[in-house]
Chains A and B, each alone.
Chain A
Amino acid sequence: MNENQTIYSFDSTFSVSGELFETEKYRELYAAMLDSASGKKFVSRGAGVSYPLASAGENVRSIVSLQFNRILEFDSSSGVVKVESGISIGKLLKFLSKRGWWLPVMPGHPSITVGGCVAANVHGKSQYHSGLFEDCVRELEIFHPTQGKKKLSKESPLFEFVCGGFGLTGHILTVSIQCKQLAGKSLLKRAIPTANLFESIEIMLTEKDHYDHVYSWNNLNCKGDHFGKGYVYCEKFESEPAKDISEFHVLAMAPRKGLLDQLLSRTLQSQISRVYALKERISPAQVRMGILAGAFPINGKEIYHRLFGLAGLLESQIIIPHDQLRPVIQKLAKSIAQSQVKISLGSLKIFRGRQTNLNFRKDGICLALNAPNSLQTLELFKQVDAICIEHNCLPNIAKDSRLSAAVIRSTYPEFERFQNGIKNFDPEGRIHSALKARLQL
């Protein structure tokens, strides 16, 4: 097996010394997990773009699934596709879209693996319409060194702990997904300028049933009545074809310590919102995009993560219940103004559904904040945690690498249920990660 090396969280805010193990043979994959009997704990790893480092841990063997990236079965009449967990959603969507099908839930970058989507139970551009990734999963196969290979349907008790279980139930081998028929050949994106965050929310709630995707970009550095001034984006499938992207880009992995990264982060980091606002001002109000371009808005914008350099970025994502929107937004505006932190990105999505286990799902509005990693940002995000607890908001574990066990216990009512579920399945704790250690799971 390999020697330990430094493995960074994708946001670049922390690292561990762990082993990266990659194979393309099932025999060796199982052997690497069975080796945990000797005390070497393991965790599965996909593309390695986990913000909270769910896929690595101190002295833990990270088992990389990228070589297991095949489409095993596809039923063109029902739209059910069975894949190995290491396949990227980009490769999968390319295959599906050519055959008239679509993945209902997709994160923004094509390099993310299907296994990663299941483990973090991710949401896409439109959680309101499509739910979380688990909602399109029909069946799973996992491997655990003491439990062996298990096939799980939605009815299996373990299913809910695998989807959103951050890899703590074993290695996901295959995933069967129920795809959706493509409703068109392109996506038409309409940008509606808004005066502030409240207006954005109002427009999104009004338009949500008229479009396939509704989300926003908001400038959270504006003050007073302009706090959150920005654009609401409404997207709809159209029958007219459009020019699409021909290749997928690779995300800039941490540590981003190259000369260019340092230069970019020093000169442009504080200007991100301003530059984006300017770009949107001169862009047409309506844009037609190809299917792949529409699915992966971050593809081609990989420079964004490089703008945060070696120190990295911090992200906080919270769902604010509808009845708490006004006080939460007012408090956030005040905290941001006082902190003098330059927010690099603010964005809204509409969410709905019952909160379970550690899943990021609840009725309300999801607000995402990005800022450069600094003491001021950490202090600001501590205030966001306090606001969350006070106003019954839900923070996103998959996107926030600094959330404490105490905050998660206070905001996730089923925390203990999840903890017990994991402990019952893996009582010896063969699976371990930095995330598991931080949340005391």
Chain B
Amino acid sequence: MIKPTALIVGASSGLGKAIATLFAEKGFSLALVSRDSEDLQALSASLRAEHGAQVIYYDLDLLDPKVHFGNFIKTVNEDLGSIQYSFLTAGGSFSGDEKIPTELAFQNCLRLNFQSISMLMNELLANQKLNKCRSILVVSSIAALVPRSQNNTYSAAKMALENYAKSLRHYVFQSRMAVQIQVIRLGYMDSGFTRGKKLLFPISQREEIAQFIFKNRDKDYGLAVVPKFWSVILFVLRILPWHIYKKLRF
């Protein structure tokens, strides 16, 4: 029996790692991507040993402007046979991205969180017939809706990513392509950013979020806020008048 296939970009840690583990457990063949090859090597080895999964991995730095995403997707497609599901989870904030961000933080933050992910989506869709692509998921953040004086570029990049994904979703519908474009807007999740911090709202486990992604992998939900209670919080923050919002410290 031919196994379903998935590409996970940003697989060495956080949500990407949790998705890789769950999909390996469910019998998917995986292509894992990250710039941390030692982590990928260990993850691949464990998915093979613990779940008997077929795993290939690629050392790729999304911050490198020389990366040719078209060639990369072509290589993965050849190695894996097809790319049915794509989870583009790579992202993150940079030091210096606060107040008036440094040029380097600004460029890196945009490249990692918006440009590279969007270009990967473009290439996946451009070769959709070849890839047998069924869904492409990108990860946004609650920060996209509530900008503040920290992680300025990060929240702007995530907002841009949401909009871009929506444009592609519209294009996919118009051109009758059988691909789902999914965006999840993440609340607090256990990761290097939240570990050890005292936060106002509960932190979700990445395994729970991976479960949500697995269950809904073929659904045309567009954008989902995960966990759901963040929708209420975001709604309240969005309707706050500026004279109150500007005083918030978060």
Instruction: Determine whether the beta carbon of A24 is less than 8 Å from that of B192.
Output: yes
Note all chain A residues with C-beta closer than 8 A to B49. 71-74
Q: Scoring B residues 185 to 212 as 1 if CB is less than 8 Å from chain A, else 0, what string do you get? A: 0000000100110000000000000000
- Name the A residues within 8 Å of B192 (CB-CB): 23-25, 28
Residues on the B chain within 8 Å of A70, using CB? 42-43, 45-46, 50
B36 & A71 in contact (Cβ 8 Å cutoff): no
Answer whether residue A20 sits at the interface, using C-beta atoms and an 8 A cutoff: yes
CA distance A28 to B38 in the complex (A): 11
**A2 vs B194: C-alpha distance in the bound complex, in angstroms?**
12
Interfacial residues of chain A within 22-47, with CB under 8 A of chain B in the complex: 22-28
Contacts of B195 in A (CB 8 A): 22
Partner of B39, one of A2, A25, A72, A95: A25
Q: Is B12 part of the contact surface with A, judged by Cβ < 8 Å? A: yes
CA of A352 to CA of B42 in the docked complex: distance in angstroms?
Answer: 37
Tell me whether A25 and B13 are in contact in the complex, defined as CB-CB below 8 angstroms, given that A70-B50, A71-B49 are known contacts: yes
> Quick check: A25 and B50 within 8 Å, CB to CB?
no
B17 at the A interface (CB under 8 A) = yes
* CB of A162 to closest CB in B, whole Å: 20
Instruction: Judge whether B38 and A20 touch: CB under 8 Å.
Output: no
Kindly provide the distance from the CB of A70 to the nearest chain B CB, expressed in whole angstroms. Answer: 3
Q: How far is the CA of A23 from the CA of B191 in the complex (A)?
A: 9
- By the criterion CB–CB under 8 Å, are B13 and A24 in contact? yes
Q: In this complex, which of A22, A23, A24, A28 has the most chain B Cβ atoms within 10 angstroms of its Cβ?
A: A24
Chain A, Cβ-Cβ closest to B38: A26
Contact residues in B for A20 (Cβ distance below 8 Å): 196
A62, chain B: closest CB distance, angstroms: 12
- The answer to whether B196 and A72 have CB atoms under 8 Å apart is no
Please report the C-alpha to C-alpha distance between residue A28 and residue B36 in the assembled complex, in whole angstroms.
10
Residue A400 lies at the interface, judged by CB distance under 8 Å to chain B: no
Q: Is A84 an interface residue (CB 8 A)?
A: yes
Count of residues in A whose CB is under 8 Å from the partner chain: 17
Tally of contacts, chain A with chain B, CB under 8 A: 42
The range of chain B's interface size is 10 to 19
The answer to whether B39 touches A24, judged by C-beta atoms less than 8 angstroms apart, is yes
Contact (Cβ within 8 A) A25 B36: yes
Chain A 1-25 per-residue mask, 1 if CB under 8 angstroms from chain B, else 0? 0100000000000000000101111
Taken together as a complex, chains A and B put the C-alpha atoms of A247 and B192 apart, in Å, by: 26
**Min distance, Cβ A140 to any Cβ of chain B, angstroms:** 16
A149 to chain B, nearest CB (A): 10
- Interfacial residues of chain B within 101-157, with CB under 8 A of chain A in the complex: none
Which residue in B12, B17, B45 is a CB contact (below 8 Å) of A72?
B45
Q: How far is the CA of A68 from the CA of B36 in the complex (A)?
A: 14
Taking CB as reference atom, which chain A residue is nearest B34? A25
Q: Nearest A residue to B43 by beta-carbon distance?
A: A70
Report yes or no: B45 in contact with A24, Cβ–Cβ below 8 A. no
* Residues on the B chain within 8 Å of A95, using CB: 50
With a cutoff of 8 Å between Cβ atoms, the chain A residues found around residue B38 in the complex are: 26-27
**Which residues of B are found within 8 Å of A71, using beta-carbon distances?**
46, 49-50
Chain A, Cβ-Cβ closest to B50: A71
Complex CA gap A75/B99 in Å reads 54
Question: How close is A175's CB to chain B, nearest CB, in angstroms?
Answer: 13
Q: How far is the CB of B191 from chain A (nearest CB, A)?
A: 8
Q: Is the CB of A26 within 8 A of B39?
A: yes
Bound Cα distance from A73 to B45, whole angstroms: 7
Q: How far is the CA of A71 from the CA of B47 in the complex (A)?
A: 8
Residue contact A26 to B50, C-beta cutoff 8 Å: no
B-side contacts of A68, CB under 8 Å: 42
Cα A28 to Cα B192 in complex, Å, equals 11
**Once bound together, how far apart are the Cα atoms of A95 and B49, in whole Å?**
10
| Interface 1/0 per residue, B51-87 and A, CB below 8 Å | 0000000000000000000000000000000000000
Asked if residues A72 and B46 are in contact (CB atoms below 8 Å), the reply is yes
A392–B43 CA distance with the chains assembled, in angstroms: 48
Cα(A71)–Cα(B52), bound, Å: 12
Interface residues of A (CB under 8 A from B): 2, 20, 22-28, 68, 70-74, 84, 95
Given contact pairs A24-B13, A25-B13, A28-B192, a sample of 8 additional A-B residue pairs in the complex whose CB atoms are under 8 Å apart: A2-B196, A24-B14, A24-B39, A25-B39, A26-B38, A26-B42, A73-B45, A84-B42
A to B CB contacts below 8 Å, 30 in the list? A2-B196, A20-B196, A22-B195, A22-B196, A24-B13, A24-B39, A24-B192, A25-B12, A25-B13, A25-B36, A25-B39, A25-B192, A26-B36, A26-B38, A26-B39, A26-B42, A27-B36, A27-B38, A27-B39, A28-B192, A68-B42, A70-B43, A70-B45, A72-B42, A72-B46, A72-B49, A73-B45, A73-B49, A74-B49, A95-B50
3 tightest A-B CB contacts, nearest first: A70-B46, A26-B38, A72-B45
